[in-house]
Chain A
Amino acid sequence: MKKFLKYMSPFAPDQSGVCGVFYELGGLIIICDAGGCAGNICGFDEPRWFDKKSAVFSAGLRDMDAIMGRDDKLIQKLSLAYEQLGGKFAVIVSTPVPAIIATDLRSLERMGEKKINVPCIAIDSTGTNYYDKGEEKAWFRLFETFAKESFEKKVGKVGIIGATPIETGFKDAGNLKKYLSEKGYDDAVIYSMGTTLEDVTKAGECEKNIVISLAGLKAAEYLKGKFGTPYEIAYPFIPENILAEAHKYSGKNILIIHSQFAANELRNSIGNTANIKCATWFMQDKDFACDGDIALSGEDDLIELLEKENFELIIADEDTLPLIKSTGYKGDFIDYPEFAVSGRLLG
């Protein structure tokens, strides 16, 4: 049965993806929900919540707010919070409730901006999509709103688009910088991790952007069009121990289940790519897929794949293992934690 999970728990939703992009940039983030969605984001999908403060709030919607469509009340609450805390911008993150009652998010943006006089962005996440869809919208709106001015290009400066704790499994930029340094990128701006809104406004300074997730692609295209900044696709954040273990299986039939760019990077690193298939629970772009790569829409798709193919090694998040074992799979397994699946961090 499609969309039925017997073995796994639901993955990180789009509203978590939106929040992750804006989290460190100094704005007011309002989850337009009744409380549960904000709880899931802060308590589970945003690992920075416990040691890096950010103004993330729930709108505290109640049934009559939803029934009566009291947008003005939300703007009043936003205004009060802005008076108390300030902020460089405001983001209103939609959830299932506003999606169902068809809240006019554009109107909320206009009302919000008029009231507090700073940019107000409303993102139409729905809670039915996964984090990458939310991140895609957030990355695009972030650069579209704040990266407007052209700057002289700085030699060697590289922008990293797409890195969030959900995407990378790392909750601070320190580890990511280490990986980038090893690849020779010493002057890298990892947008939304360890950087500021000012870094976003100066995006035009970068000589090149590196897009590490499919969710960042539209934003990179925007920056290419706006400032002529070229971009390349890469995923330099795969832990050494996983690479080393995976290399031992070069030449064997392998299935990698991870976000598309990470899985592709791992495949290329292992070599003998013809024997390696990549699958993902999340977005997949055919332009970056090889023959046989698959976008998994649910547990049934993976079961079907494993019944059809004979893999000797599967590289995936350990939370997938009970599902894999249920098919009678007898091959080897390497645990490559994927935060959007299990909520486990790499560092």
Chain B
Amino acid sequence: MTEAFFKTTKEIIDEGYDNLATEFVSNKHLIYSSPATLSFNSPGAKGYGVKRAGLAVPESVMLLVSPSCCGRNTSLFKSSPEYKKRFFFQLLDDTDIVTGRHLMKINDACCEILASLDKRPSAIMICITCVDALLGTDMERICRKVTETHNIPCVACYMYALTREKRLSPMAYVRTSVYSLLEKQKRENRDMNIMGFFSPLNDKSELYTLLKNAGIENIRELARCETFEQYKELSKANFNLVLNPESRHAAQDMQKRLGIPFIEMLRLYQPDKIHNQYKLLADAIGVSFNDSEYLDNTYKKIKEFKERHGSLKFAVGEILNGDAIEIALMLVKEGFKVECVFATIGELNYRFLKTLSELSPDTKVYSNLSPTMLNYKNDDIDCYIGSDCAYYFNDKPGIEWCDDTEPFGYQGVSDLFDALDEVLSK
């Protein structure tokens, strides 16, 4: 029986991005949806899949039009207070699929939804799946009909797992969908939006302070909108700050429709790179940021942590708020050892991998998706970061680092080491 497949960082870089081993290319092998990676492999299984994401529009409801199998796991969160009475299902049978008659029933289903609710929703999000992807359903037309008939905004959400590796993945598309109800209005000079996540950034992130000090008065995020009225204010923004590449298409759409330009940043954990990014952001919006105190404090925090716990040997997983390879790179740069990383290699993190291979050529990189991970035997580590690692290394100390509150900037790094300190001090 084959042992879990891995390559060292050096081996991967020596072979080159165009020659990645089969196990690192997901469409060349069967996919192992291990307990460690369920949320990653299945667009709707856990975390913010398309279904939950579509309901980011405040006070909206969702109609899932699909075979019963696609909505099965909705039980997991349907009963939680924020989703109560927000999910409805129109189940397809074989005849529906063959004849497409289910499309004629969507309007009636929406009528039943509206009749069943005490309060009129802000919008109906219609979620469709692989079935309609293959049928070539024009859901935009059906949504327009629902809007005309019931005088309510209606938006399509595409839970097309078949297109997960396309340029516009289902999660990128749904981000566009949830901002699509915004209408053009007068932009305010001192207003901006932060885009990228379905839950808010950590309140303590210095990003807010830096932006406020630079004169920004209203910083809005979709996840902080509790009402549809608050949601509508998102189109007042003078610019959008995109913190996750999956929101790029949504930002481009807002630029085109609403005239709101955008700036992109990445969520990074290397303090020097965070500093560089802030400098670039400040230049882009024509201000200056004084982040030296935050930078110094972050380095101080890391130094103190290292003095207290020594040069630990880490495992870093990919189910966390960040990029596994970038976090591994930060740890190595700060003097820690990274024994192994569980990651999906893409164009974006390949450049981090290059630097990591120079500093730590023997670090092993595993693909969580490889069937061989069924036989994974734990590496020798002191501590882990990532919810997938929590599954692999359940006898070791570590943190999952994938809370719904999103870490960002120096505060994110600081909180990461605080969380590690807490668990290692027990």
Contacts and interface: CB of A to CB of B under 8 A. Distances in A.
Interface string A19-41: 00000000000100111111110
Contact of A39 (B73, B97, B108, B116): B73
B44 A40 contact: yes
Interface residues of B, number: 63
Interface in A65-123: 66, 77-78, 80-81, 83-86, 95-97, 99-101
B72 interface: yes
Interface stretch (A50-58, A181-189, A262-270): A50-58
Contacts of B348: none
A39 B163 contact: no
Given A34-B162, A81-B30, A86-B1, A96 B67 contact: yes
Interface string B256-290: 00000000000000000000000000000000000
Given A9-B78, A319-B75, A50 B35 contact: yes
B105 A1 contact: yes
B2 A84 contact: yes
Interface string B348-378: 0000000000000000000000011011000
A343 interface: yes
Contacts of A96: 67, 69-70, 97, 129-131
Nearest to A42: B33
Contacts of A1: 105, 108-109, 112
B45 interface: yes
Contacts of A228: none
Interface string B84-99: 0001111111100100
Interface string B371-392: 1101100000000000000000
A85 B3 CA distance: 9
A40 B45 contact: yes
B68 A85 contact: no
A46 B93 CA distance: 23
B73 A44 contact: yes
B134 A10 contact: no
A140 interface: no
A130 interface: yes
Given A15-B69, A44-B76, A81 B105 contact: no
A39 B45 contact: yes
A126 interface: yes
Interface stretch (B20-28, B186-194, B206-214, B215-223): B20-28
Contacts of A61: 162
A35 B42 contact: yes
A77 to B, nearest CB: 5
A50 B31 CA distance: 17
Given A85-B1, A128-B68, A35 B371 contact: no
B159 interface: yes
Given A4-B109, A5-B91, A36-B159, A43 B374 contact: no
A263 B83 CA distance: 32
A199 B160 CA distance: 40
B244 interface: no
Interface of A: 1, 3-6, 9-16, 30, 33-40, 42-45, 49-50, 53, 55-63, 66, 77-78, 80-81, 83-86, 95-97, 99-101, 126-128, 130, 319, 342-343
6 contacts: A3-B90, A6-B116, A36-B45, A43-B42, A85-B374, A319-B75
Q: Can you list the 3 inter-chain pairs with the closest CB atoms, starting with the nearest?
A: A39-B42, A39-B45, A13-B69
